[in-house]
Structures are given as C-alpha cells and as structure tokens.
Amino acid sequence: MDKKRREFLKIAGISTLAGLGGTAVIDRLATGASPARARAAYEINSLSPAGQPKEKGPAKAAAKTSQRLGLVIDMRKFNANPGLAEKCIKTCDFLHNIPHFNNKKDEVKWVWLTGYENAFQEHSHYYRNETLEKNQVLLLCNQCDDPPCVRACPTKATFKAKNGIVAQDYHRCIGCRFCMAACPYGSRSFNWRDPRGGLDMKHINPEYPTRMRGVVEKCTMCVERVGIGKLPACVEATGDTKAMIFGDLNDANSEIRKFLKENYTIQRKPSLGTHPSVFYIV
Ligand code: SF4
Ligand code: SF4
Ligand code: SF4
C-alpha cells in the first residue's frame, strides 16, 4: 500500500472508501497533482488566510467568523443589462477552468441561471409580474453562515474560512459527496469525468488549478482573489452597473450593509436556517 493511499485511508476510513466515492478517489490519487504554480498560487492566496483545518472528523456547527463576506445580487440591474449575467458566468468559467460537457449528468456549475420559481421555492409564485416570468435569476453558492456542507464533510475538504467564505480544498476531497446531499441549494458539482476532458487545455487559466475526476467543486466566492484584495471576478465583470455588491456583512459601515438597510432583499430558502450570505433584489 503506497503512502498516499495509507494517508487517505487514515483520513476517510474504510467505510467511506467502500461508499459513494471510492473508485473515483483512487483515480484521483493516481492522477497526480495540478500544475505546481497554479496549486501554489491557490494555496497561498486562498487557504493560508483561512488557515488549514487541523482536526479530523466531521465539523460541528461552523464557528462565527470576524468577517462575513457576502453579496447582494440586484436582478433589476441584470434585467436592465441583457447579457450581463452571461458575462459573469463566462468570466467565472474561464478564470476557474470550469469544464463543459454536452450532458446534464456531467455538468459542473459554479454560477448559473434558473427561473424564479426554482430559485425562490419558498416564495409565492402566483400572479408573477412579467419581469419575473421572463427573466432568469443568477445563482451561486450562498456562502452560508451556518453551512450544512461543512458539517457533513468528513475530511474538512470544505470549510469555513476566517473571512466567512466556504472554501474547498480539492486535495483533501475524497469524493464521498456527503456535502452535495447536505447542500439544499444544489450549489456543488461532482466531477464524474476527468474535468480536463471538458476544457480546451490550450486556453486554460494557468493561475488556477484544474481539478481531477472524483472531487467536488463549487463557487468559492473567488477566495483566491479576495485574499489579495481583489473583487470576486463576477462582481468585477458587472462594472459600474451595481448589479452585484460585495462586502463584509459584519461591518455595519460597509457598502453592502448600507445597501441592505435601504433596500428590501430576499434570500433563498431562509427557513432552513443556513443563513445565506447572498441576498437578492428581484
Ligand atoms: S468536500 Fe464533499 S465530497 Fe469532498 S470530502 Fe468533503 S463531503 Fe466528501
Ligand atoms: S450554498 Fe450549499 S455549498 Fe454553499 S455554503 Fe451553503 S450549503 Fe454549502
Ligand atoms: S464569486 Fe467568483 S467563484 Fe463565485 S461565481 Fe463569482 S466569479 Fe465565480
């Protein structure tokens, strides 16, 4: 038994290996590492500020963090700027080397569009106005303040960083998919196939690691950019439209908090108690 496999069994336990992700995990370990530069950039920029989780075993309720980075998505602005949502999606897809396959089962999505009734299932759908009927809503990970995905993860591959972002360490992920079952928003995707097969490898972003078959991924609120003082790429892509407002929800003087004070916003599935950090104006 080689060293990597011994380490893996120690973390995951044999029962997990026999479960949902076993074969894929072994494939993942055998595939090897991502390009060193991309991996180093990702780890320095995203994981270091958060600190690597040290203990083993499932997390309890996520601790409160000093910062709580969040977003307001103003669909009125998106509706007024046709093509803007697609621009955000394309930007994220390119920057994060998100693969594309021609079937739904293998789909990997970090940010996507869906109908109002699907996005806001807890809200009334009767007599919707024409705007809500006609336009789609931009969805991504809600960066929940009490994230069930983090609680479900047996290896702490997904964890809440100090800035409140729910981050993902691809190298710790054993592909068990417990986090996918736990996320009530469908924000996580599993790499059923080698994601590199769904990319044009000549036109990838060398600064971000490609992933491997058998790992879960999702929007990480551009933790690698935010860690060096940049805006999330989708927010930057909206330019000065104010279609997305990003900031620290724990800071009463931040732009996002002022915006939330002055505008009526809604969240996805608020009754579940996950406390999403993404707010919407529809
Ligand atoms: S991130 Fe998800 S798939 Fe990966 S180890 Fe954690 S629970 Fe399992
Ligand atoms: S939306 Fe899903 S993946 Fe994102 S933090 Fe919440 S539970 Fe986790
Ligand atoms: S915050 Fe970053 S990772 Fe998340 S959808 Fe926007 S561009 Fe993608």
Characterize the bridge pairing of strands 278-281 and 69-74.
Answer: parallel
How far, in Å, is the centroid of ligand 2 from the Cα of 2?
34
How far, in Å, is the centroid of ligand 1 from the Cα of 215?
7
Q: Hey, where are the domains in the chain?
A: 3-281
Domain 3-281: CATH architecture, name and number where available: 2-Layer Sandwich (3.30)
Look at residue 63 in the predicted model and tell me its pLDDT.
72
- Determine whether 220 is exposed, middle or buried from the number of CB atoms within 10 Å of its CB (0-12, 13-18, 19+): buried
Q: Which of 132, 172, 130 is nearest to 153 (CA)?
A: 172
- Of the ligands numbered here, which is closest to the C-alpha atom of 168? 1
Which residue among 73, 90, 96 is best mutated to probe the pocket of ligand 3, counting the most ligand atoms within 8 A of its Cβ?
96
Nearest Cα residue to atom 7 of ligand 2: 183
**pTM of the entire predicted model:** 0.82
**pLDDT (tens digit per residue) in 149-174:** 999 999 999 999 999 999 999 999 99
**pLDDT (tens digit per residue) in 49-95:** 333 444 444 455 567 788 999 999 999 999 999 999 999 999 999 99
Q: What percent of the chain has pLDDT over 70?
A: 78
The whole-chain average pLDDT of the chain stands at 83
